[in-house]
Amino acid sequence: MILEAAMLQIKQGKEEEYEQAFRNATKIISSMKGYISHELQRCIKDRGKYLLLVKWESLEDHTVGFRESNEYQEWKKLLHHFYDPFPIVEHFENVQL
């Protein structure tokens, strides 16, 4: 399992509109091959800052399967215009302890 993590900064005053757009975009990402789950967290102290966590079965399910899909074009159309700056996305794997 791979964990995708992105710190998102939303343009000031667009937070409610973004959250509604994200609700609409949820059906896109959740329908993708290799998708396991996701959550969107809102920062308590810094209005407009969000943390997106998505679990994928493999890195390729996100970087190739999702990002190179037609569905991703719709995802971009719904969400990308809210970001300032554009987020950096990182991928993590579990450390067995």
Task: Per residue of the chain (97 residues), give pLDDT as tens.
Answer: 999 999 999 999 999 999 999 999 999 999 999 999 999 999 999 999 999 999 999 999 999 999 999 999 999 999 999 999 999 999 999 999 9
Residue 69: inside a domain: yes
1 in Cβ contact with 56 (< 8 Å): yes
* pLDDT value at residue 82: 98
Distance CA 33, CA 87 (A): 23
Residue 80 has a pLDDT of 98
Residue 44 pLDDT: 97
In a domain, 60, yes or no: yes
CATH number, residue 45: 3.30.70.100
Residue 74 lies in a domain: yes
Q: Domain total for the chain?
A: 1
46 inside domain: yes
Range of the domain at 64: 10-86
Tally of residues, the chain? 97
